[in-house]
Structure 1
Amino acid sequence: MSAVRTQAERLLAEATGILEAAGVESARHDAESLLSHVTGIPRMSLVTRARPDGIQKDAFLKLIEARASRIPLQHLTGSAAFRYVDLEVGPGVFVPRPETEMLAGWAIDHAKTLTDPVVVELCAGSGAISLSVVHEVPSARVHAVELDEPAYEWAQRNLDGTGVDLRLGDMADAFSDLDGTVDIVVANPPYIPLDAWESVAPEVRDHDPSLALWSGDDGLDAMRVLEQTAWRLLKPGGVVGAEHADAQGESAPEVFVPRWTSVRDNLDLARRPRFVTATKPAN
């Protein structure tokens, strides 16, 4: 057992050092995730159970080299965990973030209070929110739209067989057949200002699709379109929730202030502003 532990620890320590030197913040976590991916041993059992052979070791070190070049971890493993589901991801689709799980949870909690709720996800990307909704609220009728064709293809893979009505198109004119009938609109739209390039992590700016990132000079161009689309789709009393950057805790809600009620900003687990919610007036 000691030899097994020493072998795994030595490999993980070497890989962690490589990733730390490359500026990867979650170096140990990523090293463990990649060794788990290669060996099939769960992360928590690597130290006691992992005994990689030569082929596995070479594959692992190649993945570490790729991660050190700032290729996203999820692109290397081919999957991303989100709430209680796993999604297929890779080049061409935005990798879902843990912060977005809170927005999905808000939509799910609201859907659970309704009978046969109608939910629309705009800017669906990988389909993470839609998949979570149908997984946790089986009675929900879920519709999703994505503009970027490569991302749409990833969403197709993730939503195949779930009953989600997935469409390729622009959220601005999507789902005209649903106007005034929707209970919940939810979205993680692009929200990064065009001048924020240097502040964005290489994993994001170099690998996530540009359509999922940039949104005008103030980062709120997509939010303004989303507000108009949600107003058109929602029935009176319906609700909308949309993610934004932590610096947009005041500016994002202002998009909804003129004609919505119960406009509220919501914090993520790190206590940073993360998503705005609002209600369409009943009258």
Structure 2
Amino acid sequence: MSIDVRMRLRTALSRTTARLGEAGIVSSSAESRTLIEAAARADGPLVLLDALPEDFDARLEELVARRERREPLQLILGRAPFRRLLLETAPGVFIPRPETELAIDLLLEHARSDDVRTVVDLCTGSGALAAAVLDEMPSARVLALEIDPAARDLAARNLAAVDPERGEVRTGDVGDTQLLADPEPVLGARAGGVDAVLANPPYIPADAIPREQEVREHDPARALFGGGADGLDVPRSVVALAGRLLRPGGLLVMEHADVQGPSTRALAEEMGSFVDIRTVRDLTGRDRFLVALRAHPSTPSTR
């Protein structure tokens, strides 16, 4: 790296970090490096660069200005990390979150003692969970369901980038009574024939306001608010549909808000078709996932 390139990068890092810090971005230093790498079109570490593109300064200014306006970094870059993958992102589609990744660990743990060949991802959004299953479970078939056309198309691209043969995205509403009565025409999976159901549905209560500006202004309301005063209308439909889809012994993992552990366990208990109902905490110690097994017909629901 030449002295000129080194000095330009050092100056760019200092100025960008200061600007992002003034904009209220906590991880200003790390995000500055990411934006500089994008502006430099770097395929590797910045220290390996011999030269900067002619439009480096202009491109960096554009990227930094967008982040100053609190546009999510994942939308600026057009990608988001999730597990071992870099997923494509798109405006108007829910951005994958790190806390959701634990759902895959729960599935893999279950698969060590039970055969998992068909996995359904309800409310798939960008397809993050479905794509991760394809990536980490090479023998599994994955069916994803999404109601929003833009999210459905993005999910289809993310699944195809991992494996165009084993994954499929279908259009449907988890609250559709016809889907619940007979899921196979819409979802491609027969009732009682699925080994695991994953879901990160919308679950925010109607009167709750997301704290983060990026969430309020860029994540679609349909992917945030779960319906009803408690935000559990969509999660309730997810649990009901999972009870219909899963074979006895099949696994349900559903993400929820950190205050909804007791409420979501109650949903599973009220269905009367689940056993081993529990709440799993995320890495910060907050209640995050409803986990349950589909009961055998003669087995009562248990917590």
Q: State the TM-score, normalizing by the size of structure 1.
A: 0.92
Of 213, 219, 229 in structure 1, the residue corresponding to residue 224 of structure 2 is: 213
Aligned ranges for residues 62-211 of structure 1 at < 5 Å? 62-115=62-115, 117-160=117-160, 161-172=164-175, 173=179, 176-177=183-184, 178-197=190-209, 199-211=210-222
CA distance in 2, matches of 1:108, 1:140: 11
Alpha-carbon offset, residue 58 of structure 1? 1.1
* Structure 1 residues 164 and 144, CA gap change in structure 2 (3 angstroms): same
Query: Deviation string for 1:35-71 (max 9, x for gaps)?
Result: 112223367x335647534511210111110011111
Root mean square deviation of aligned Cα: 2.0
Which amino acid counterpart does residue 163 of structure 1 have in structure 2?
R
CA distance in 2, matches of 1:57, 1:137: 43
More deviation, 199-208/96-105? 199-208
**Aligned 8 A contact 1:115 1:139 in 2:** no
1:275 is the counterpart of 2:293: no
State the 4+ residue runs in structure 1 displaced beyond 6 angstroms: none
CA distance in 1, matches of 2:165, 2:109: 19
Which amino acid counterpart does residue 164 of structure 1 have in structure 2?
G
More deviation, 162-171/109-118? 109-118
CA distance in 2, matches of 1:141, 1:8: 46
Which position in structure 1 is the counterpart of 2:22? 21
**Aligned 8 A contact 2:40 2:53 in 1:** no
* Structure 1 residues 97 and 78, CA gap change in structure 2 (3 angstroms): same
1:262 is the counterpart of 2:262: no
Unaligned segments of structure 2, at least 5 residues:
185-189, 299-303
**Aligned 8 A contact 1:116 1:140 in 2:** yes
Which position in structure 2 is the counterpart of 1:234? 246
Unaligned segments of structure 1, at least 5 residues:
none
Report the identity percentage.
39
* Structure 1 residues 268 and 42, CA gap change in structure 2 (3 angstroms): farther
Aligned-partner SS, 1:171: coil
